[in-house]
Chains A and B, each alone.
Chain A
Amino acid sequence: KAGVTQTPRYLIKTRGQQVTLSCSPISGHRSVSWYQQTPGQGLQFLFEYFSETQRNKGNFPGRFSGRQFSNSRSEMNVSTLELGDSALYLCASSLAQENSPLHFGNGTRLTVT
Chain B
Amino acid sequence: GDSVTQMEGPVTLSEEAFLTINCTYTATGYPSLFWYVQYPGEGLQLLLKATKADDKGSNKGFEATYRKETTSFHLEKGSVQVSDSAVYFCALLTSSGSARQLTFGSGTQLTVLP
Contact = CB atoms under 8 A, between A and B. Distances in A.
A55 B105 CA distance: 23
A74 interface: no
Given A42-B107, A92-B44, A105-B43, 19 more contacts: A4-B43, A42-B105, A43-B102, A43-B104, A48-B99, A55-B98, A55-B100, A56-B100, A58-B101, A94-B100, A99-B49, A101-B32, A101-B34, A101-B46, A102-B93, A103-B46, A106-B43, A107-B42, A107-B43
Nearest to A3: B43
Contacts of A98: 32, 95, 100
Contacts of A45: 101-103
Closest 5 CB pairs of A and B: A56-B99, A43-B104, A104-B44, A104-B43, A55-B99
A50 B34 CA distance: 22
Dominant SS at the B interface?
Answer: strand
Q: How large is the interface on B (under 10, 10 to 19, 20 to 34, 35 or more residues)?
A: 20 to 34
Interface in A33-49: 33, 35, 42-43, 45, 48
A31 interface: yes
B70 interface: no
A87 interface: no
B22 interface: no
A58 to B, nearest CB: 8
Contact of A43 (B49, B89, B96, B100): B89
Contact of A99 (B45, B93, B107): B93
10 contacts: A33-B100, A48-B101, A55-B98, A55-B99, A92-B102, A98-B95, A99-B49, A99-B93, A106-B41, A107-B42
Contacts of A92: 44, 102
B36 interface: yes
A4 to B, nearest CB: 8
Contacts of A58: 101
